[in-house]
Amino acid sequence: AQKVTQAQTEISVVEKEDVTLDCVYETRDTTYYLFWYKQPPSGELVFLIRRNSFDEQNEISGRYSWNFQKSTSSFNFTITASQVVDSAVYFCALSGVVDNFNKFYFGSGTKLNVKP
């Protein structure tokens, strides 16, 4: 079964602090993809990153970075020097070969509050 767990329901930080959002996944697939999406108050999910199971290189994009570790089935997301505009709900998602990659399994999300 495919499952994504985001244990942190809500996190509050003060602007400029670094924050890490945790994502742990379960899958029997050997080939799968992991995603992070941002959902601002407007409701529309915004794509942030896609990572396949064969690529464990960490990725950095501006203030955002992602740490993928197959050994611990985790795909954590770090925001450096957080800003108020980062306030949103963040979702981690999994898509596997068993579903022909056409079904996304989302975690329950982590709400990030960045205070000025």
Partner 1 sequence: GAGVSQSPRYKVAKRGQDVALRCDPISGHVSLFWYQQALGQGPEFLTYFQNEAQLDKSGLPSDRFFAERPEGSVSTLKIQRTQQEDSAVYLCASSFGLGYRDANEQFFGPGTRLTVL
Least Å distance between CB 63 and partner 1? 20
Please, which residue, 17 or 26, has the CB nearer to partner 1?
Answer: 26
Told to check if 93 binds partner 1 by CB under 8 A, we report yes
Told to check if 77 binds partner 1 by CB under 8 A, we report no
Which residues make beta-bridge pairs with 4?
Answer: 25
Told to check if 21 binds partner 1 by CB under 8 A, we report no
Least Å distance between CB 25 and partner 1? 13
Told to check if 37 binds partner 1 by CB under 8 A, we report yes
In 1-116, DSSP assigns E strands to 3-5, 10-14, 19-21, 24-26, 32-39, 46-52, 59-61, 64-69, 74-79, 88-96, 105-106, 110-115
Q: Which of 47, 40, 26, 44 is nearest to 94 (CA)?
A: 26
Interface with partner 1 (CB under 8 A), residue from 43, 57, 61, 116: 43
Residues near partner 1 (CB under 8 A), total: 28
Told to check if 24 binds partner 1 by CB under 8 A, we report no
What is the residue whose two structure tokens read 């505009």? Answer: 85
Please choose, out of 15-23, 55-63, 64-72, 97-105, the segment that lies near partner 1 by the rule CB under 8 A.
97-105
